[in-house]
Structure 1
Amino acid sequence: MKKLLSILGSSSIVISLGTYVVSCNPNKDTINILFVPSQNSTEIISTVKPLEEKLANELSKIAQADNRTSTKKVKISTSTNYEVAGKTLQDGKAHLAFLPVNTYTKYRGTDKDGVFDKQGILLNASRAGAKPETTFEKFKGEDDKFSSTLAMEKITLETSWELSKHYNKMVKDNLNELKTQEKAKNLLLDQENEASYYRSYIYANNQFLSDNNFNIDSFEDSASYHEALKELILKGTNDKKFQFTFGASKTSSAGVLYPMLWLQDVLKIEDNNLKDLWQNKHEQGSYPQASQEVSNATSNYAVGFSDIRMESKSSNDVENGFKNTTIIGATDPIINDLIAYSKKTIKDETFKDDLRTAFKNLIEDKENASIFEIYNHTGYVGPASKENSFDFELATDKSITQTTNATQTLLDKMKNW
């Protein structure tokens, strides 16, 4: 995901070589929406560009139904990284941003009795469950059905090992079918079981694993798996041939924070070694690029949500991604992404309610599915009514605070890395 520079702001826009530089005061007649670069910025813009007209039209319809008028336009851009998106929204240079919870947490502002002064939560995303998880025995309840509650428990060493093996077996059993993005999504996404979370997985190049005598299916127990995997990964603390991989943005949940917590809490790697892994890392780009790199052995590892191997539009890259890589670990669950809003630029509750209704209406229309698939969103959760907006945001912020304490502690530790 080599990124376009898109720092949102006013109606004054200088365009040079596909780079947007926007000054500080947002145009009151234009809703500026910022997307984070989880994929190539050009692809994101081309995919979500129809949202500009569709959202403007939907807001107009909603207003007309209430004997009001909406003439607002919509402008979509991508940021250079997650931190720029969070800071841009915090400063009021954008109205809305699609953010992972850890980026939102860092830039939501000062806590005043559970309410934050810079950013608020417009909507929380839901997504189709990952079939390797919805079919995993440890994530099934008494009725033998997938339990989101069980799946959202903190990951253990044994569960990380067993879930990885289960995932790999599902891929291996369907390898002849996993040759296009569409087929991979049909096989690996469970549309009947929506999830309010996702998790990051650690992918490794098969030849790299073979050269280092690591076979995740060969271990008799999780202790043996732990010992061998920890030894392999620690080789990357001082040897570039074994370097581990992270994303470029420290606040990326799936690209940095949760893989780092997995190394710390599951593999029990000490702080000095975590620092060495970070400073000696291979820095991956977009998730499709990361999948391609680990597939062709440009890197040993890749980290990212399930499943980054099917994010490429190239059928050859999808096929090689599944054929040439193995999952070797699974992180804790991550609360789904948010559509966050700037409290500097959005203060009117009616407008906020219109936006929530518009996004819900658009994502429920199958004609718009490709727009929201850019982040694998299948639906949006918000307050039951405009009157419940404060309570919804307060409760969601509280839940996010509780689940991001560990990542905030980690970010504090990583400040000087």
Structure 2
Amino acid sequence: MKKGLARGLVTAGVALFAVVALAACGSKGADTKSEDKTIDDLKISFVPSRNPDDIAVATKPMASLLQDALKKQGYTVKKVDVTVGTNFEAVGEALASGAADVGYGVPGSTYALYKDDVNVILTATRAGLNKDSSDAKDWNDGKATEPTDKQATSYRSILVTGPSEKGQALAKKVNAGEKLTWQDLKDVNWGLSSTTSAAGYVYPSLWLNDNFKHTVMDLAHTVTIDSYGSGLARLASGQIDVLPMYADARRDYAEAWTSTYGQKESIWAETNVIGVTPAIYNDGILVSKESKIMTPAFQKALQAAIKDMATTDAGKKVLAVYSHEGYKDAKESDYKSEFAAEQLLQKNAK
């Protein structure tokens, strides 16, 4: 045999052996990975749509509850880190960077801002409310907003005025059936949530655009609130005149209105709704595309585990801080109106 041919056969043989060996190793590695259902650390970040301290206390038991629920799905999670973001954007940034694996209670507007970096896996369901009118004065009967037995996947943002002189003047006009003008609204003091808050910023901006061809960026006097609790404290004291909030926020803070904020009359007597936005799709549970543990299989297990957890008494107690009563599987197209809203804000910001 010629040396060149022999060398060629040897080289081919070595290459073939290498390919087979690599294939065998790759197959073994893939099998091992597919069978590995142990997660060292699952990081969950909650949005601060209520008082961050209240959320931190209420969600503390979630770690063990979720570990138990995931075990039923065949996954062993050694550690669950539960934290509360400093604001809505902080949760979005943590998901975008992979610093958090799961974002919990994330509004659609925040999802819209970070949709290239996250997947939505679940949408919360909540009890519907006995008030759902688009006419603001229908909310001002002095009676509490109460939950119904019907589960809802959307909610309203309401623009609420307090006991300040300017706030009462706006409410008086609305309750008399008169239409507000841009002049009525632009110079009063507004409390706004962070820029990705659906109820506290995005949809109020859409309401202003639909009715007056302006957005919140055109308002003369605004302050940023870090939670609805602190915003209602400012509203009660007269520091601000208007506070946009989710539709059942007054119910959540009815006791604090008199006990913590020191008001003499009930929140239903001292506040009025002057604007109601279109329906907003409920909060979502998002997972990071940058997360190293968020495989399709684990995402599916997480969906099932959270839905299962929400049916238990202990799970319901944890989720009550967000008024979540259950969850349904979600997809990106569910939030198309939120995406459109965010595009409008981005356009107006230029």
Structure 2 counterpart of 1:77, from 65, 76, 83: 83
Of structures 1 and 2, the one with the larger relative CO (CA 8 A, separation 6+) is 2
Confirm or deny that 1:55 pairs with 2:66: yes
Residue type matched to 1:92 in 2?
Answer: G
Residue pairs, 1:233-312, within 5 angstroms:
233-234=185-186, 236=187, 242-247=188-193, 249-266=194-211, 268-270=212-214, 274-277=216-219, 280-312=221-253
Confirm or deny that 1:103 pairs with 2:116: no
2:307 is aligned to: 360
Residue type matched to 1:339 in 2?
Answer: I
Residue pairs, 1:94-133, within 5 angstroms:
94-98=100-104, 99-109=106-116, 118-133=117-132
Asked if the contact 1:206–1:326 (Cα under 8 Å) also holds between the matched residues in 2, the reply is no
TM-score (norm 2): 0.80
Distance 1:41 1:357 in 2: 27
Deviations 1:43-81 (A, max 9, x none): 211010000111012212331xxxxx5143211001111
Residue pairs, 1:95-174, within 5 angstroms:
95-98=101-104, 99-109=106-116, 118-133=117-132, 136=133, 159=134, 162=135, 164-169=136-141, 172=142, 174=143
Larger radius of gyration: 2
TM-score (norm 1): 0.68
Distance 1:374 1:212 in 2: 31
Question: 1:211 and 1:119, CA in 2 relative to 1: closer, same or farther beyond 3 A?
Answer: closer
Asked if the contact 1:127–1:378 (Cα under 8 Å) also holds between the matched residues in 2, the reply is yes
Identity %: 26
Alignment root-mean-square deviation, CA: 2.3
Q: List gaps (5 residues or longer) in structure 1.
A: 1-26, 64-68, 110-117, 137-158, 179-186, 237-241, 383-391
Q: List gaps (5 residues or longer) in structure 2.
A: 1-37
Residue pairs, 1:363-402, within 5 angstroms:
363-382=310-329, 396-402=331-337
2:147 is aligned to: 189
Question: 1:213 and 1:166, CA in 2 relative to 1: closer, same or farther beyond 3 A?
Answer: closer
Asked if the contact 1:90–1:108 (Cα under 8 Å) also holds between the matched residues in 2, the reply is no
Question: 1:212 and 1:263, CA in 2 relative to 1: closer, same or farther beyond 3 A?
Answer: closer
Structure 2 counterpart of 1:90, from 93, 96, 102: 96
Residue type matched to 1:255 in 2?
Answer: G
Distance 1:270 1:287 in 2: 24
Task: Quote how far apart the aligned CAs of 1:87 are.
Answer: 1.3
Distance 1:321 1:285 in 2: 20
Q: Secondary structure at the match of 2:180?
A: helix
Task: Quote how far apart the aligned CAs of 1:292 are.
Answer: 2.5
Question: 1:349 and 1:283, CA in 2 relative to 1: closer, same or farther beyond 3 A?
Answer: closer
